[in-house]
């Protein structure tokens, strides 16, 4: 059983700890770990937050990387928790299938997708939970629990979006989406006001996917680009091509340029303005999966541009009637404190759920903010916004929310109650779970 104690604990590099890292090779070795009292299971350490970090012990599932079954006719796949999404794509796309919901990176693990109930650009049914058929979980009593939407439902519902606190996800079986092409038909349209933004979103029912990139906002205005897309319907008899992608590390030149232009309050404004003007004209109306779904994977180590302190991501859901007011308050704070977000992504959101899952109606706002001397002030400001407007935080990416944001909400008490039933010894713990006192 390999152990290691010093490597990047999350993708954003914003949480410092020196736990033991153990890499069990098989189920027998994994079961031995259940004698431990305080640990968390991790996949590929691609989380933006601290939900897969434990200061004592992290158990990596990187050796559990087998695809157990793939039914090409029905489009059902079962994979171990440590399998990476990129490896699933490499198998299923050529056979005419795609994942029904995908996050913004293909380097996440299947177990991580389940534990965080990932969402993506889907206009409807935008949670992976809608497509999961069965889970196998190793609980703290060393029992393998098989659960489905109808059998052992409490395990099933609390594990999807349960951040690894209910047990170790050994495998997941889920339904795939039928496709006829490896290409996407996309449209990128510019908006320069709230009215034009809302008008563009009204046409989203013509597509399968939508996400919106924000260049600037504040003083009652907003500018950016709407990205729309749908799978190309290739009805000819030609076989689908294999899903190919390049793993490209950032070189010194690009590192230097990105570091300068994305980490400076004034240069980032210029960079975003230029990007908006050029992108709305020079874009491919037909793109591949990699470009459409996984643009952040262009450089597989882009997180390095944020340096040793890293960055934090805040993603939260605001009600439509509060949207403009909240955006204006954030813009004023950013301007007054010379704070900025490298990327701001907004998506219309309408999802049902329970427990700590990211669900509700309104607008999902996502920001990547470099950590600097204003970090504490920014964290406190965002927490005050979360509380004032009763905002739902996406805890799968969070590292800043305090317990006051969630402590009085029914979904929090229900989740803690369920955890106490499923895992009374509470062996599975993370910095996240302790931060929110779960």
Report pLDDT digits (tens) over 182-233: 899 999 999 999 999 999 999 888 999 999 999 999 988 999 999 999 999 8
Question: Taking Cα atoms as reference points, which of 352, 359, 341, 343 lies closest to residue 395?
Answer: 359
pTM of the predicted model as reported, rounded to 2 decimal places: 0.93
pLDDT, residue 8, reads: 66
d(CA 162, CA 158): 5
Q: How confident is the model at residue 253 (pLDDT cuts 50, 70, 90)?
A: confident
Mean pLDDT of 113-125: 96
Separation of CA 257 from chain center: 26
d(CA 194, CA 211): 15
pLDDT, residue 219, reads: 86
d(CA 352, CA 249): 38
Beta bridge partners of 221: 218
d(CA 335, CA 105): 31
Minimum mean pLDDT range among 205-214, 266-275, 312-321, 377-386: 266-275
Mean pLDDT of 382-404: 95
Name the H helices within 23-182. 27-32, 85-92, 110-115, 153-159
Question: Taking Cα atoms as reference points, which of 170, 128, 158 lies closest to residue 421?
Answer: 158
Separation of CA 162 from chain center: 14
d(CA 66, CA 58): 21
**What are the sequence ranges of the domains in the chain?**
183-403
pLDDT, residue 401, reads: 95
Count of positions (residues) in the chain: 438
DSSP state of 409: -
Name the H helices within 202-296. 252-262, 265-279, 289-293
Using DSSP bridges, classify how beta strands 97-98 and 311-318 pair: parallel, antiparallel or unpaired. Answer: unpaired
pLDDT, residue 3, reads: 42
Mean pLDDT of 224-251: 80
The beta strands (E) that lie in 206-318 are given as: 209-218, 221-231, 286-288, 311-318
pLDDT, residue 236, reads: 59
> Burial level of 50, CB count in 10 A (0-12/13-18/19+)?
buried
Separation of CA 321 from chain center: 25
Question: Taking Cα atoms as reference points, which of 163, 128, 157, 204 lies closest to residue 397?
Answer: 163
* % of residues, the chain, pLDDT over 90: 80
d(CA 285, CA 279): 12
Q: What are the tens digits of pLDDT across the range 81-103? A: 999 999 999 999 999 999 999 99
Minimum mean pLDDT range among 259-268, 303-312, 343-352: 259-268
Cα atoms found within 13 Å of the Cα of residue 59, Cβ hemisphere only: 31
Residue 4 has pLDDT above 70, yes or no: no
H/E stretch holding 78 reads strand 76-80
Q: What are the tens digits of pLDDT across the range 394-435? A: 999 999 999 999 999 999 999 999 999 999 999 999 999 999
Give yes or no for a contact between 125 and 80, defined as CB atoms under 8 angstroms apart.
no
Question: Taking Cα atoms as reference points, which of 431, 437, 423 lies closest to residue 56?
Answer: 431
What is the rounded average pLDDT for all residues in the chain? 92
Residue 46 has pLDDT above 80, yes or no: yes
CA-CA-CA-CA dihedral for 396, 292, 171, 429, to nearest 10: -10
Q: Which CATH number does 183-403 carry?
A: 3.40.462
Give yes or no for a contact between 189 and 200, defined as CB atoms under 8 angstroms apart.
yes
Using DSSP bridges, classify how beta strands 168-175 and 76-80 pair: parallel, antiparallel or unpaired. Answer: antiparallel
Beta-carbon contacts of residue 253 (< 8 Å; ≥ 6 apart): none
Angle between helices 323-337 and 375-388 (to 10 degrees): 160
Give the angle subtended at the CA of 359 by the CAs of 423 and 85, to the nearest 5°. Answer: 75
Beta-carbon contacts of residue 100 (< 8 Å; ≥ 6 apart): 122, 125, 128, 130, 131, 174, 175, 176, 177
């Amino acid at each position: 059983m390999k152990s290691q104690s010093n490597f990047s604990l999350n993708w954003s590099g914003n949480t410092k700890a020196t736990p033991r890292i153990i890499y069990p090779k098989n189920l027998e070795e994994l079961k031995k770990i259940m004698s431990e009292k305080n640990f968390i299971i991790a996949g590929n350490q691609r989380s933006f937050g601290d939900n897969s970090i434990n200061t004592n012990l992290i158990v990596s599932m990187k050796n559990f990387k087998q695809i157990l079954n793939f039914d090409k006719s029905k489009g059902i796949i079962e994979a171990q928790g440590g399998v990476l999404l990129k490896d699933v794509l490499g198998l299923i796309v050529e056979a005419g299938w795609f994942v029904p919901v995908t996050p913004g990176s293909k380097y996440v693990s299947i177990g991580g997708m389940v534990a965080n109930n990932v969402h993506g650009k889907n206009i409807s049914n935008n949670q992976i939970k809608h497509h999961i058929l069965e889970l196998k979980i190793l609980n703290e009593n060393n029992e393998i629990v098989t659960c489905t939407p109808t059998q052992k439902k409490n395990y099933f519902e609390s594990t999807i979006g349960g951040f690894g606190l209910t047990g170790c996800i050994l495998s997941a079986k889920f339904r795939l989406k039928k496709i006829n092409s490896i290409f996407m038909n996309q449209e990128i349209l510019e908006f320069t006001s709230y009215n034009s933004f809302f008008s563009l979103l009204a046409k989203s029912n013509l597509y399968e996917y939508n996400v919106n990139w924000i260049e600037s906002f504040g003083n009652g205005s907003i500018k950016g680009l709407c990205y729309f897309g749908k799978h190309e319907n290739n009805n000819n008899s030609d076989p689908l091509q294999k899903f190919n992608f390049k793993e490209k590390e950032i070189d010194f030149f690009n590192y230097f340029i990105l570091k300068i232009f994305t980490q400076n309050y004034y240069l980032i404004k210029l960079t975003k303005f230029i990007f908006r003007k050029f992108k709305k004209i020079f874009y491919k109306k037909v793109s591949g999966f990699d470009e459409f779904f996984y643009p952040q994977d262009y450089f597989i180590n882009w997180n390095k541009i944020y340096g040793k302190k890293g960055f934090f991501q805040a993603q939260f859901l605001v009600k439509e009637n509060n949207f403009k007011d909240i955006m204006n308050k954030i813009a004023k704070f950013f301007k007054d404190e010379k704070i900025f977000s490298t990327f701001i992504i907004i998506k219309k959101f309408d999802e049902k759920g329970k427990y700590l899952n990211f669900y509700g109606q309104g607008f999902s706002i996502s920001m990547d903010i470099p950590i600097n001397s204003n970090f504490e002030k920014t964290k406190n400001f965002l927490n005050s916004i979360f509380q004032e407007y009763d905002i739902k935080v996406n805890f799968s990416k969070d590292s800043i929310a305090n317990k006051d944001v969630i402590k009085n909400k029914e979904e929090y008490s229900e989740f803690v109650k369920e955890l106490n039933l499923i895992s009374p010894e509470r062996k599975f713990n993370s910095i996240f779970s302790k931060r929110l006192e779960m």
